[in-house]
Amino acid sequence: MWTLDTLAAGAVYFGLVMYAVFGGADFGGGIWTALASGPRAQEQRDKLFHAIGPVWETNHVWLIFVVVTLFTAFPQGFAALFTALLIPLVIALIGINFRGAAFAFRHFGRQTGERIPFMVSIFAVSSILTPFALGMAVTATATGKIVFVNNWAQAGPWFWISPFTLVGGLVGMAICAYLAPIYMTVRTDGELQSDFRRQGIIAGLVFGFLTTVEIPVAMADAPLFADRLLTVRGASFVALSVISGITTLILLWRRRFQWSQITAIGTVILTITGFAAAMYPDLLIGQLSIRAAAAPPATLRAFFIVLVTGIIILVPSLLLLYWTFRGEPNPKLPQ
Amino acid sequence: MDNVLSARALMGLSLGFHIIYATIGIGLPLMLMIAEGLSLRTGDELYHQLARRWVRPAGVLFAIGAVSGTILSFELGLLWPRFMAFSGPLIGLAFSMEGYAFFVEAIFLALYIYGEQRLSRRMLFFCTIVLSVAAAVSAVFVISANAWMNTPAGFRLVDGKLADVHPFQALTNPAWAHEAVHGTLAAYVATGFAVAGVYALSLLRGHRSEHNKRALTLALAVASVSLPLMLVSGDWSAMTIAVQQKPKLAAMEALFTTARGAPLYIGGWPDPATGTVLYGIRIPTLLSYLAFRDPDALVEGLDAFPPGTAPDPRLVHPFFDLMVASFFIMLAPAGWFWWLRWRRKEVPLNKWPLRALLLASPFGMIALESGWLVTEFGRQPWISRGYMRVTDGVTPQTSIGLVLFTFFVVYLALTVGLLILLMQPATTEEGAKTTQGDRHVDS
């Protein structure tokens, strides 16, 4: 199990988790920007924007990390994925593009105060589109519909649209919409905090409902994935994520926001881990194993040398970042 | 449109777009560092304020650079999966290292932008140092991947499969050194001139503040120090290419026939049908001298390579000349400015020197983009020279024309949006003046 190729697959998994936990919350902020309602809708939107402002670029780097790790360590798998999933990935990319631009433009154009509503709607729509398309792309790898002919990946042009991937896309959105308001509960107080608490509870129920529905859908639509998910290994992660999700709801109900933030992250990590456990040992289920897709050992060794060096440089830098911005956000600071 | 052509057009469009923002992301941190350093050393607050005023455009441009870079990382797979399946194990390392450098850059940019009230001046200065180094390092690494396509190294092919893979040899491939040095310096020149142009315009419009004078001087100083180094590194690049990538040199110089004492053509239109350069200025033996430091040296022309293995000089020679011409277009106004500055011991505010600078200000970027086109068109028809053709690296997916169209619209929308915002400098300037230091700062 602890071979270089599974470790490299672990790096891809780690990147996905980090992107979901950090970047996902940013997308969730966009989703709730669209769904904000009630007397404090504008305040909610502003708070979400301010929270995302300083961090979204750093969070975004995790997606690039996943892509680079894929083509360095799993060139065959990368080529297959990016050939078969051309359309959903293009959709996600357009979303990422407009979202980043809308965000940057909003900040830049702030003093003039013009065009902001337009930017907000672009920001909101692309925040919904991107996790949905990415969720579909990720779950499409579990359908077993990407097949290899003459060593080359082939799939129907619309294979990635099926009940299983559609629910997968919704789960992607739900993960984002779940994390953002829960993170916000510890950054706000009073009525605004209650708003975010209510949003967190709603999103948690939706998230739980969608992941539950995904299991019978998988049995019909992605049978191999369903089989592996219902083995002891897969099922134990499913059970743990259910426990973690229910705990989060209880904690939110009882207004233990610090703790609910931790268990919410746990729920998301466990959900992704359950997916990864059911995929293991394949990169494309039933068609391409991690081992078969892996780059030559020399590349994997070099990849880990660079990874360790990178971590040695990054960890102190990140600690400095978080240490500098510890404590209450300074209201005088740029937003 | 043809699938290969669509894929090339889209990749070219995305890179051409990204290069502008990435370049500013390399050049601007250096200027921030110099301004903060000067402020610390002289105790002059104006330099610090200068740097803080660049923070906001830096943040926006850096963000667009990050997003357009993400698009590129996706397009590697969406457009060139077969090339990536072959080269990923070799050039992936360069991209990984670039990724970490970029990560560090993002962290220290956030620290510098948002940390003004939490960090000491020394610490802010330190942030700009790390920022400048990380930016330069990320450029140097990502250029390694491009250099590998020109001079693939670090592997053998056995029955069409990779063997003897040495990723670090791939990283330090032969073309890397000169491309990295020339490309990174080009970023300083391009940013320096672009920023100098902005302030020259401001001075021309009558905003003769100390702020504008200093900003102009600083930006132009960065560009002017790098400019002669461009000549040196360009000469080094040409001499190296003459040995490593002979077809590219032949296409750059529009040399159709192999010759001793080869002539240098300035300008002109290379005509492959007749094998001549129309309307060009021909200087005998100069190419042999420049490429090999020997007026009698043998330079291989395009006729030395089998048909279908060398680039089309019509796409390479004009861009090469444009790059070289840009150098002189920038050199003259910069020289004029410094001459007046030295004579008068003050920033010259006369119309014509400033107008000349304004005119020259986009040519750093033009030179950089054309130099990039020389490298890319000069590599054709190979995606990995000698190993894989562009046509063999492209995706088997067939609807690339539609993807190209989609992204064309996306880039158009982005550019229009950015231009609309940048066209309102007056209100932003005023806002920046009335709010002290921190309020206007965001990214």
- What DSSP assignment string belongs to B111-155? HHHH-TTTS-HHHHHHHHHHHHHHHHHHHHHHHHHHHHHHS--S-
Nearest to B396 among A64, A75, A83 (CB): A83
Mutate to test the interface with B, among A18, A22, A68, A129 (most CBs of B within 10 A): A68
Q: Cβ–Cβ of A76/B97 closer than 8 Å?
A: no
pLDDT digits (tens, 9 = 90+) for B75-120: 999 999 999 999 999 999 999 999 999 889 988 988 888 888 888 8
pLDDT higher at B316 or A39: B316
Nearest to A90 among B78, B162, B165 (CB): B78
Contact list in B for residue A53 (CB cut-off 8 A) is 442-443
Contact list in B for residue A79 (CB cut-off 8 A) is 77, 81-82, 84-85, 88
CA distance A295 to chain B (A): 6
Residue B257 inside a domain? The answer is no
Residue B144 inside a domain? The answer is yes
Nearest to B428 among A76, A111, A335 (CB): A111
CA distance B353 to chain A (A): 32
Q: What pLDDT score was predicted for residue B422?
A: 66
Q: What pLDDT score was predicted for residue B186?
A: 95
Contact list in B for residue A72 (CB cut-off 8 A) is 88-89, 92-93, 95-96
Residue B52 inside a domain? The answer is yes
Residue B83 inside a domain? The answer is yes
pLDDT confidence tier of residue A292, bands split at 50, 70 and 90: confident
Nearest to B77 among A60, A79, A295 (CB): A79
pLDDT confidence tier of residue A116, bands split at 50, 70 and 90: low
| CA–CA separation, B169 and B172 (whole Å) | 5
Contact list in A for residue B167 (CB cut-off 8 A) is 298-299, 302-303
| CA–CA separation, A32 and A41 (whole Å) | 10
pLDDT confidence tier of residue A111, bands split at 50, 70 and 90: very low
Residue B294 inside a domain? The answer is no
Q: What pLDDT score was predicted for residue A328?
A: 52
Nearest residue of B to residue A327 by CA position? B118
Nearest to A86 among B78, B100, B102 (CB): B78
Q: What pLDDT score was predicted for residue B212?
A: 87
Q: Cβ–Cβ of B93/A307 closer than 8 Å?
A: no
Number of CB pairs, chain A paired with chain B, less than 8 A apart: 234
CA distance A16 to chain B (A): 15
Q: Cβ–Cβ of A101/B67 closer than 8 Å?
A: yes
pLDDT confidence tier of residue A326, bands split at 50, 70 and 90: low
| CA–CA separation, B140 and B179 (whole Å) | 8
Q: Cβ–Cβ of A78/B69 closer than 8 Å?
A: no
State the average pLDDT over residues A222-237.
89
Q: What pLDDT score was predicted for residue B182?
A: 95
Q: What pLDDT score was predicted for residue B205?
A: 87
Nearest to A90 among B84, B88, B403 (CB): B403
Residue B292 in contact with residue B299, Cβ under 8 Å? yes
Contact list in A for residue B442 (CB cut-off 8 A) is 53, 107, 110, 334-335
CA distance A158 to chain B (A): 13
Q: What pLDDT score was predicted for residue A150?
A: 74
Q: Cβ–Cβ of A101/B165 closer than 8 Å?
A: no
State the average pLDDT over residues A253-264.
91
> In total, how many domains does chain B have?
1
Task: Show the tokens assigned to B157.
Answer: 């092919």
Residue B426 inside a domain? The answer is yes
Contact list in B for residue A97 (CB cut-off 8 A) is 67-68, 70-71, 410, 414
CA distance A265 to chain B (A): 22
| CA–CA separation, A143 and A282 (whole Å) | 12
- The pLDDT mean for chain A works out to 85
Q: What pLDDT score was predicted for residue B139?
A: 94
Residue A176 in contact with residue A131, Cβ under 8 Å? yes
What residues contact residue B5 under an 8 Å CB cut-off, 6+ apart? none
Contact list in B for residue A330 (CB cut-off 8 A) is 117-118
CA distance A99 to chain B (A): 9
ipTM: 0.88
Nearest residue of A to residue B427 by CA position? A112
- Say which range, A40-44, A66-70, B197-201, has the weakest mean pLDDT: A40-44
**pLDDT below 50 — which residues of chain B?**
426-443
- Containing domain of residue B405, as a range? 1-152+399-443
Nearest residue of A to residue B117 by CA position? A333
Nearest to A100 among B57, B67, B396 (CB): B67
Q: Tell me phi and psi for residue A143, to 5 degrees.
A: -80, -20
One-letter amino acid at A320 equals L
Helix (H) or strand (E) holding A27: helix A24-35
One-letter amino acid at B40 equals L
Nearest to B100 among A100, A107, A313 (CB): A313
State the average pLDDT over residues A236-256.
92
Q: How far is CA A74 from CA A62, A136, A284, B313, B392, in A?
A: 17, 21, 11, 37, 20
| CA–CA separation, A137 and B240 (whole Å) | 44
Nearest to B97 among A97, A306, A333 (CB): A306
Nearest residue of B to residue A315 by CA position? B104
Q: Cβ–Cβ of B113/A334 closer than 8 Å?
A: yes
State the average pLDDT over residues A90-110.
77
Q: What pLDDT score was predicted for residue B152?
A: 93
Q: What pLDDT score was predicted for residue B207?
A: 83
Q: Cβ–Cβ of B92/A313 closer than 8 Å?
A: no
Mutate to test the interface with B, among A26, A65, A69, A86 (most CBs of B within 10 A): A86
Question: Dihedral (C-alpha) B34, B35, B36, B40: value to the nearest 10 degrees?
Answer: 100
Residue B27 inside a domain? The answer is yes
Residue B71 inside a domain? The answer is yes
Residue A112 has pLDDT above 80, yes or no: no
Q: What pLDDT score was predicted for residue B147?
A: 95
